[in-house]
Amino acid sequence: MANENEQKAPQIQIEVKPEIAMGTYANLAVVTHSQSEFVLDFVSMLPGMPKAEVASRVILVPEHAKRLLFAIQDNIQKYEAQFGPIELPQPKAKQEGPKTIAPFNIKKGDA
């Protein structure tokens, strides 16, 4: 049995309003940072459209950004254990530039 003197961590009740519960679709994320914060812009891009729109922006202090990184890593490991590896498309050999994956062949600086 646990020591009666040990305190349990307080439980946090989280409410999700209906307009937030539906979520926001994004097929691109742009991450930037300063000394004091990380900014995550979630973008919705449509093929053939010259302009992409930021669908949602989340601003985090560095400590929370690192916690988010660990939470996502943990969830990806659990996902892959249940459903198999998540395969990322390989860049085409003839493409030049960075080896990052972006939808619709966006080149660096275009988004």
pLDDT of residue 91: 81
Task: For the chain, give every domain's residue range.
Answer: 24-84
Average pLDDT by consecutive 10-residue portion of the chain (111 residues)? 66 93 94 97 92 95 98 98 95 61 52 48
The full 3-state SS of 2-28, as one line of letters, equals: CCCCCCCCCCCCCCCCHHHHCCCCCCE
pLDDT of residue 44: 93
pLDDT of residue 6: 65
